[in-house]
Amino acid sequence: MNVTTTRLRRLRQKNSLRKLVQENNITVNDLVMPIFVKDKLTTKVEIASMPGCFQLGLNELDDEVDEIVSLGVFAVILFGIPSEKDALGSASMGDNGIVQQAIRRIKKRAPDLLVISDVCFCEYTDHGHCGVVVKSDDGMCGDTVDNDTTLPLLAQQAVSHAKAGADIVAPSGMLDNMVAAIRLGLDEAGYTKTLILSYAVKYASSFYGPFREAAEGAPKSGDRKSYQMNPANAAIGLLEAKQDIEQGADMVMVKPGMPYLDMVQRIKQNFPGTPLAVYQVSGEYSMIKAAALQGFLDERETVLESVVCMKRSGADIIITYFAKQIAKYLTAR
Ligand code: PBG
């Protein structure tokens, strides 16, 4: 046995010492709270698969915003659920669309709250896909999203969010050249200051299951495998991030979080100057909640561990349904 005089456990013997040498910390500055807002809803409705998370009507937004602000969280990401859906997702881009109304309402209530808006079509189309769908007759992938007819519509949707007052638009459809199309659209409309947070490295994941209940955006047929990434792949994620950054993304995202922290690390190492977000998605929230409700896991400790590990991997921004809860934990410490 090769005994050394180094004893690494010396650094871990007391709480104070452990804290003194801790490399990463979570603060409220890292957190983004998702909000689901539903057209024509006049109450708040709990999402069955996400206990503690709600669909809100427009009138319920004020209380939610007040609570978020009072906890010190200063960024939200907004998802809209329209009352009418059609093949092109027309309800996603009008001035009186649910998200546009919600953005204006939030900005009126809390002008300093950063509003990120998810830019996608799956909540707005009757088929539930993230763009214009064409029938594929090769029998290989089933019906799929037509990339280039969707791009101008995405740009239009992004511009309508910017016009309503969104600070950051976040395209989540994983279409090729979506960032370029949106940047061009925003700039042409005069919104040169609006940022783009691209869901650059987004996987076709089963962990989105509960979100599809929350946002009512499940595909009616087929899946999203022809546009979202294959969970078995890593290297192509670097190309996805590189392209989006070159096209003008101000920030990029890896999604989901916990099973994909290797990707967070790779993207941070390769693009250190680009702020990196990670999305702890609905299924991650549900897993921890369900286990905690059963008494199988200690909720507070598990939640805090899950997010500090995201920081350790290289994330700068953490989007999580636990954001409010984490802010409470941090102030109670
Ligand atoms: C919309 C979108 C999805 C999520 C964020 N934006 C669903 C999907 O791509 O199927 C998932 C978020 C979550 O699971 O919490 N395209």
The predicted pLDDT at position 143 comes to 65
Q: Tell whether 309 is covered by a domain.
A: yes
Q: What is the pLDDT at residue 47?
A: 97
Q: Which atom of ligand 1 is nearest to the CA of 224?
A: 10
* 130 vs 180, more confident: 180
Name the token pair of 214: 């929350």
Domain count, the chain: 1
Please provide the DSSP assignment of 107-151 as one string. Answer: HHH-TTSEEEEEE-STTTBTT--SS-EE---SSSS-SEE-HHHHH
Tell me the average pLDDT across 204-223: 90
| 46: containing domain | 25-332
pLDDT score at 261: 98
Ligand 1, atom 7, residue with closest C-alpha:
208
Tell me the CATH number at 35: 3.20.20.70
- Tell whether the model's pLDDT for residue 9 goes beyond 70: yes
Which protein residue's CA is at the shortest distance from atom 2 of ligand 1?
172
Query: Which residue would you say has higher pLDDT here, 242 or 214?
Result: 242
- Provide the CA 226 distance to its chain's centre, in angstroms: 20
Q: What is the dihedral of CA 61, 66, 71, 75, to 10 degrees?
A: 50
- 243 close to 164: Cβ distance less than 8 angstroms: no
* CB 167 within 8 Å of CB 195: yes
The pTM is what? Answer: 0.96
The answer to whether position 12 is within a domain reads no
Cα 202 to middle of ligand 1, angstroms: 9
Q: Quick one: average pLDDT of 174-203?
A: 98
**Average pLDDT estimate for 174-179:** 96
**Residue 237 domain flag:** yes
- Assess if residue 88 is contained within a domain: yes
pLDDT score of 112 more than 80? yes
pLDDT of 245 strictly over 60? yes
Angle between helices 299-313 and 282-293 (to 10 degrees): 150
What angle is formed at CA 286 by the lines to CA 281 and CA 290, rounded to 5 degrees? 160
- Asked whether the predicted pLDDT for residue 142 surpasses 70, the reply is no
pLDDT of residue 67: 98
In the predicted model, is pLDDT for residue 134 greater than 90? no
> How high does pLDDT run on average in the chain?
95
The CA distance from 134 to 296, in Å, is 46
pLDDT tens column, 41-91? 999 999 999 999 999 999 999 999 999 999 999 999 999 999 999 898 999
Q: Is residue 290 part of a domain?
A: yes
Instruction: List the beta bridge partners of residue 56.
Output: 37, 44
187 is a domain residue: yes
Contacts of 5 (CB under 8 A, 6+ apart): none
Which candidate, 8, 63, 226, 247, places its Cα nearest to that of 129?
226
Indicate if 255 belongs to the active site: yes
Domain assignment present for 141: yes
Tell how far the Cα of 32 is from the centroid of ligand 1, in angstroms. Answer: 15
Confidence of residue 210 (pLDDT cuts 50, 70, 90): very high
| Catalytic residue chosen out of the listed positions 38, 85, 163, 255 | 255
Ligand 1 probe mutation, 120, 206, 284, most atoms within 8 A of CB? 120
**Which of the following is catalytic: 38, 163, 202, 268?**
202
Q: What is the pLDDT of residue 197?
A: 98
Cα of 301 from ligand 1 centre, angstroms:
26
How does DSSP assign 219-253, residue by residue?
-SSS-STTTSBPTT--HHHHHHHHHHHHTT-SEEE
pLDDT at position 110? 98
Q: Quick one: average pLDDT of 155-176?
A: 97
Mean pLDDT across the stretch 118-126? 92
CA distances from 169 to 36, 83, 120, 157, 195 (A): 16, 22, 10, 10, 6
Q: What is the pLDDT of residue 133?
A: 87
Asked if the structure places residue 18 within a domain, the reply is no
141: pLDDT strictly greater than 60 = no
Judge whether residue 26 has pLDDT over 70: yes
Report the Cα 38 to chain-centroid distance in Å: 18
Ligand 1 mean position to 73 CA, how many Å? 22
Which residues approach ligand 1 with their CB closer than 6 A? Answer: 118, 120, 122, 130, 172-173, 208, 211, 224, 281-282
